[in-house]
Structure 1
Amino acid sequence: MRRAHTGIIPLNGGVRTMRKRLMTLAAALMALAMLLAGCNGSNNKANGNGEASASSGATTAADNFNEPGTFPIVKNEETLTVWASPPSWIGDLDDNWFTKYFEEKTNIKINWVRANMEDYSDKLNLLLASNSDLPDVILSWGISNAQQIAYGSQGLFLPLNDLIDKYGTATKQVFDYNPIIKSTITAPDGNIYGLPSINECFHCTYSHKLWLNQSWLDKLGLEMPTTTDEFYQVLKAFKEQDPNGNGKADEIPLTRGSWQGGIDYFLMNAFIDNEAGNRLMLQDDVIVQAPVQPEWKEGLAYLHKLYAEGLIDPEFLLEDDNKVKILTGTEEAGNKVGAVASGSLSWVDWSDANPVKEDYVAVPPLTGPGGVSLAKEYAFGMGVGNFVITKAAKNPELAMRFGDAIYQLYLDGDYNLYGEEGDVWVKAKDGEVGLDGSPAKYNVIKSGEQPNNFTWGNGLNTFMTNEWRNGQVVTPGVWNSEKILYDETKNKYEGKGPEQVMPGTFMMPEDEATEWEELNNAVIQYLDESVAKFVTGSMDLDKDWDKYLTELKKIGYDRLTELTQQAYDRQYKGKM
């Protein structure tokens, strides 16, 4: 009995073991069947065309992808959650014309998370700090190098290197366009965490401009000024001689616009190289602090003189393009503005019937008392961190293909990025020329129209080369802001920058990058405030100069300079 009982136990145990194995096998077969069903789309939701569509949370089966670099990206519709920050004047992204065009072209449905350009930085910082409810992709006006390195090392941003190698056919062409692109966005750990925006905007390269009312010069019998002293005399004449002819002393000799309109941006370059921002300049491979030099103090004294004599708009700190449009008006007698510091012409009404817009011309770089005459020159036109993939992306390949597709549209010359062909733009006709005189490729009919809902704006990984930008039709005899900006830059600013151009961005190890960004923000804020105070006289150049220098040291200007020098030596010295 005992032996029989002993014999039964292994038998029953074997049955249970076999049953368990069979159940495991059955479960495995069922899982395999479900997987195969998922691959052929039989377990997916149907899209509007009755075709299968995988859920947004599932990893896309390999055979649902078409070859990299081709459209559509996937055979059956997929979904990506994308955080974006277009200008506020762009309407609902779900109903946006380009959204629908891009979704149809790629077969990727976009689940938008919306911010706006005007406050994107604050909202983006909150999103990243929360480390929750992350989208698959972030399209933005730029995520700083420090943030890319920090969040990349923490795993919040995915490294893109392997994804680019496998799926970034267009991205690799962008990198090949200029070797500086890839080197600039590669972090010290060797990873690429964000794709850049390329914008070879010729007039943006020399965007610290000053616009002068030529009709007022003509009326008063004055020549275009070439020195700071001559410019001072012109402003005095504008203030005192009623150039708008309305019998009122209502002229504002000098004010500023929104973009690149810092009151010191243009004029300080007649005294010393003014790089704006942290005001660090590059001389013989050495990072130099411009705002502590005697020439900077001399430039501030000149600006204060203009302000004290009523030649600078007393409201200049509060002005923006919309306010200046009111001041310039739509008729000669109503125009109150003599000169505007701005990188664009967006501060004047562009209506066809408005003659005022044709009155302004750019002032060439002025020569200061020390013989300095410079035009601020920006480095190669690129932003950083305009496209990143977060750790929330369940299908990084799909996300990478999404970003690569944006570059592909630019490479293909797909001007539908501006909006619908025939409505927003048309192909150029034979014989039409572009900004640089070469044969044109497209004509934007609704240039700069606001509000609109037919484009995403530029808060993404763009690839606008000189060829792209200069291919826009220019109609002879028709006022065209882009053509004016191009010609004025070509004729008056090109080639007049400093001997060495300061790089636009630096890559550093995480600890240095974080420290650099904190110091940089503090320095920029203090310098901007100090310029305003010295110009208006709330800080006295004689009494407060030493205190100002001490405060710069206290904030950490020397350390910022040291970190910038180290980064320059590692990344750019001997390579530019």
Structure 2
Amino acid sequence: MSLKKTCIRTLAVLLVLSMAWGGLASAQVSAEVIHNEKGVLPIVNEPITLTVGVSQNTMVQDWQTNKQTLYLEEKTGINLEFVVYPLNEMQTKLELAIAAGGGDLPDILLFETPGIRQSVLMPWAEAGMILPLTEYYDSLLYWGKETLALSDDIDLDFVKKYLTSYDGEIYGVYGITESINNQYAISRVLMYGPWLEALDKEMPATTEEFYNYLIDMRDKDPNGNGIRDEIPFSGYSGALDNAKRFLMTPFVYTQQDYWIAEDGVISSAATKDGWREGLRYVNKLFSEGLIDPAMFTQDQATLTVALSQEPNVIGGYARWSTTNLAADDADRYLYRRLEQLQGPDGKTVKSWWPSMPTIDAVITKNCEHPEVAFMLLDYLNSIEMSIITRYGYEGVNWFPNDEETIKAQQEKFIEFWQNQPENLLEKFYGEDALPLVAKNRYDTTQWGTLQNDWWAGVGPDSMTYHLDTQFYDLGNLDNELSAMSYVNEFIAKYAYEQAAQYRDISKVVTGLVFTQEEQEVVNRYFSEILSYINESWAAFAIGAMDVNNDGVWQDYLNTLEKMGIDKVTEAVQTCYTRMNQ
């Protein structure tokens, strides 16, 4: 080789190395200039602009001039330019943009509660349209940890478990609303307090006590009108699953979709011997006139009319929402929560549904500064921003309570408690107990209206339980009904504390992130299977199918097998195992 050629090659190599080194140096300088350390505000040293895609929102007047937008820009040093998609058309517009190559996608996409489904997200990820953020959760997350520390049940490992896709990556930034009320709503049952007193009964705690109490309500005229018009237990079609979970769980753990995990093995509760035993119990209640068969067909409005009768005729009911009775109806506050019953085996297990993280934001391939975008989204999950997203601004929408205010509220509520037929405060919490008064009070009248102060819950925010309970409604001081509402919430808190003893998260199957193949199996078979399980449950309950007939029961199991329940169980098992390794 000639000396000339050798020199040329040497110079070429040096040029390449020089360019590589220059690129590295440039990247390092850029990183130093672009953002500060995690947890430091402003996020950037020099202003940059990020484009943000959102849907038009009926409660947000102008995304660009919104007070929360301006506050974020001031705190973080990041300019935000909004791309607003027409109402209810955001996903369609995004799909079209992605099909065209994604060149027009904004840097960040924000989603309304309950976020965007993994099944929608993964085709975008596989097409390279959104970025994996897994490494940022390990290296850059700061503010989210601050808020998660205000939860007893949810930590970062829990969040990451349910955000991680089947390829091992996380493609979005989470939001979470830890509603204890909603966790237990899936098996919520209320009993009419005055009838417990009229019949000199305590709340039933076992399936046998519940059965006997229903008989007493049917036979002993607790409403005192001399007519046998009492309906011991009712409900409505929209809350039928609540009643089902409440009645069946003492025999076999019953949750949404009926999956159950036992030592890591997935099966359907609807195929278990305990399911049959539970159906025998429910059939007995129906056959003896202890459960209202109208619960299969009547709607919520019809149940509300029945609950409003004078004198009262309904002793207990399964419900979903507190809106069965109006806030100005005193009877609303006379119904007390009945928590999970102990089963014939002497065990008590509560059917519940953990609060799950949702994917409320993603970062697209077009974002030049994904670290900065992630840090911005992380800041939205801070305590400060989560409060703004949920309750607004201190001194405007919510107000701190001083010691004098707290004392006055406690005295007012103690007086109210003492005037009740039963001092539930003392009964539940002890002789010297004081009602809990939140650190802050807020005004709910500003919710649900067009405003320009905050983002109306769009995008990431973390309202963990111990953060949420720092606030209460201003209306609780207004009048006796408001005080009764507060008392009802206080009783509910006690019920939650009791119910928490009986949760078993190892049995819960939720938040599954299926592969495309697994999802196809579930889509192909499971909807029809669920319909058959629900129809059969009703038929067994009212006696149209004989639960005591071995042949009928075997036909039911055979039908489920023919419908493909084993195939779906295998898909769910594979997914569950992958997520719980």
Deviates more, 1:393-402 or 1:478-487: 393-402
Partner of 1:461: 460
Distance between the aligned counterparts of 2:472 and 2:162, measured in 1? 33
Kept in 2: contact 1:137–1:390 (CA 8 A): yes
2:391 corresponds to 1:383: no
Distance between the aligned counterparts of 2:437 and 2:403, measured in 1? 8
Give the TM-score, by structure 1 length. Answer: 0.70
Partner of 2:377: 403
Partner of 1:269: 249
Kept in 1: contact 2:131–2:364 (CA 8 A): yes
Distance between the aligned counterparts of 1:359 and 1:386, measured in 2? 38
Partner of 2:338: 363
When residues 360 and 195 of structure 1 are mapped into structure 2, their CA distance, relative to the original with a 3 A threshold, is same
The alpha carbon displacement at 1:516 in A equals: 4.2
When residues 439 and 311 of structure 1 are mapped into structure 2, their CA distance, relative to the original with a 3 A threshold, is closer
The alpha carbon displacement at 1:265 in A equals: 1.0
1:373 to 325, 335, 348: 348
The alpha carbon displacement at 1:266 in A equals: 0.9
Give the TM-score, by structure 2 length. Answer: 0.70
Which digits, 9 at most, give the CA deviation of each residue in 1:54-111, with x for residues without a partner? Answer: xxxxxxxx99999976469895886533137xxxxxx823338999332222343545
1:214 to 193, 198, 203: 193
2:264 corresponds to 1:285: yes
2:500 corresponds to 1:494: yes
2:70 to 104, 107, 115: 104
Distance between the aligned counterparts of 1:525 and 1:239, measured in 2? 32
Distance between the aligned counterparts of 1:538 and 1:127, measured in 2? 49
Partner of 1:483: 490
1:80 to 52, 76, 83: 52
Which digits, 9 at most, give the CA deviation of each residue in 1:472-531, with x for residues without a partner? Answer: 35979653254332211113x122234833243234544334434655545444433433
Partner of 1:186: 164
The alpha carbon displacement at 1:415 in A equals: 4.3
Kept in 1: contact 2:163–2:357 (CA 8 A): no
2:571 corresponds to 1:563: yes
Partner of 1:95: 61
Which digits, 9 at most, give the CA deviation of each residue in 1:193-240, with x for residues without a partner? Answer: 233332333344444232111111212333322332332232233344
Kept in 2: contact 1:96–1:453 (CA 8 A): no
Q: Which amino acid aligns with 1:307?
A: F
Distance between the aligned counterparts of 1:164 and 1:372, measured in 2? 40
Q: Which amino acid aligns with 2:558?
A: T
Distance between the aligned counterparts of 1:134 and 1:370, measured in 2? 57
Q: Which amino acid aligns with 1:263?
A: A
The alpha carbon displacement at 1:253 in A equals: 2.6
Distance between the aligned counterparts of 1:338 and 1:196, measured in 2? 42
Kept in 2: contact 1:283–1:499 (CA 8 A): no
Helix, strand or coil: the match of 1:479? Answer: helix
The alpha carbon displacement at 1:291 in A equals: 1.0
Helix, strand or coil: the match of 1:254? Answer: coil
Distance between the aligned counterparts of 1:375 and 1:452, measured in 2? 37
Kept in 1: contact 2:124–2:130 (CA 8 A): yes
Helix, strand or coil: the match of 2:201? Answer: coil
Deviates more, 1:370-379 or 1:298-307: 370-379
How is 1:406-421 mapped onto 2 (pairs within 5 angstroms)? 406-408=380-382, 410-411=383-384, 414-415=387-388, 417-421=390-394
Kept in 1: contact 2:147–2:464 (CA 8 A): no
Distance between the aligned counterparts of 1:532 and 1:134, measured in 2? 49
The alpha carbon displacement at 1:264 in A equals: 0.9
Kept in 2: contact 1:142–1:383 (CA 8 A): no
Kept in 2: contact 1:348–1:357 (CA 8 A): yes
Partner of 1:6: none
Helix, strand or coil: the match of 2:176? Answer: strand
Partner of 1:26: none
Q: Which amino acid aligns with 2:160?
A: K
2:148 corresponds to 1:160: no
Kept in 1: contact 2:192–2:336 (CA 8 A): yes
Partner of 2:324: 347
Which digits, 9 at most, give the CA deviation of each residue in 1:17-75, with x for residues without a partner? Answer: xxxxxxxxxxxxxxxxxxxxxxxxxxxxxxxxxxxxxxxxxxxxx99999976469895
Kept in 2: contact 1:438–1:471 (CA 8 A): no
Partner of 1:506: 512
Partner of 1:23: none
Helix, strand or coil: the match of 2:125? Answer: helix
Kept in 2: contact 1:261–1:343 (CA 8 A): no
Distance between the aligned counterparts of 1:358 and 1:439, measured in 2? 19
Q: Which amino acid aligns with 1:569?
A: T
Task: List gaps (5 residues or longer) in structure 2.
Answer: 1-31, 74-79, 150-154, 411-428, 478-482
Helix, strand or coil: the match of 1:255? Answer: coil
Partner of 1:551: 559
Helix, strand or coil: the match of 1:222? Answer: coil
Distance between the aligned counterparts of 1:97 and 1:319, measured in 2? 42
Kept in 1: contact 2:43–2:376 (CA 8 A): no
**In proportion to residue count, which structure has more helix?**
2
When residues 439 and 212 of structure 1 are mapped into structure 2, their CA distance, relative to the original with a 3 A threshold, is closer
When residues 334 and 349 of structure 1 are mapped into structure 2, their CA distance, relative to the original with a 3 A threshold, is farther
The alpha carbon displacement at 1:572 in A equals: 1.9
When residues 412 and 94 of structure 1 are mapped into structure 2, their CA distance, relative to the original with a 3 A threshold, is closer
When residues 386 and 494 of structure 1 are mapped into structure 2, their CA distance, relative to the original with a 3 A threshold, is same
Deviates more, 1:281-290 or 1:145-154: 145-154
Partner of 1:446: 444
Q: Which amino acid aligns with 2:206?
A: T
How is 1:182-331 mapped onto 2 (pairs within 5 angstroms)? 182-207=160-185, 208-245=187-224, 250-256=229-235, 262-274=242-254, 276-318=255-297, 323-329=302-308
Partner of 1:470: 469
The alpha carbon displacement at 1:126 in A equals: 6.2
Q: Which amino acid aligns with 1:386?
A: D
Kept in 2: contact 1:442–1:471 (CA 8 A): yes
Kept in 2: contact 1:170–1:411 (CA 8 A): no
Distance between the aligned counterparts of 1:466 and 1:260, measured in 2? 28
Distance between the aligned counterparts of 1:128 and 1:550, measured in 2? 44
Which digits, 9 at most, give the CA deviation of each residue in 1:357-389, with x for residues without a partner? Answer: 22122224223334343212444x223333334
Task: List gaps (5 residues or longer) in structure 1.
Answer: 1-61, 85-90, 117-122
The alpha carbon displacement at 1:348 in A equals: 2.9
Distance between the aligned counterparts of 1:75 and 1:244, measured in 2? 70
Kept in 2: contact 1:72–1:106 (CA 8 A): no
Helix, strand or coil: the match of 1:426? Answer: strand
When residues 393 and 519 of structure 1 are mapped into structure 2, their CA distance, relative to the original with a 3 A threshold, is farther
The alpha carbon displacement at 1:302 in A equals: 2.2
Which digits, 9 at most, give the CA deviation of each residue in 1:526-576, with x for residues without a partner? Answer: 433433343344544336433332232233322232233333333325xxx
Q: Percent identity?
A: 25
Distance between the aligned counterparts of 1:478 and 1:423, measured in 2? 27
Distance between the aligned counterparts of 1:523 and 1:156, measured in 2? 35
Kept in 2: contact 1:273–1:498 (CA 8 A): no
The alpha carbon displacement at 1:427 in A equals: 1.8
The alpha carbon displacement at 1:173 in A equals: 5.5
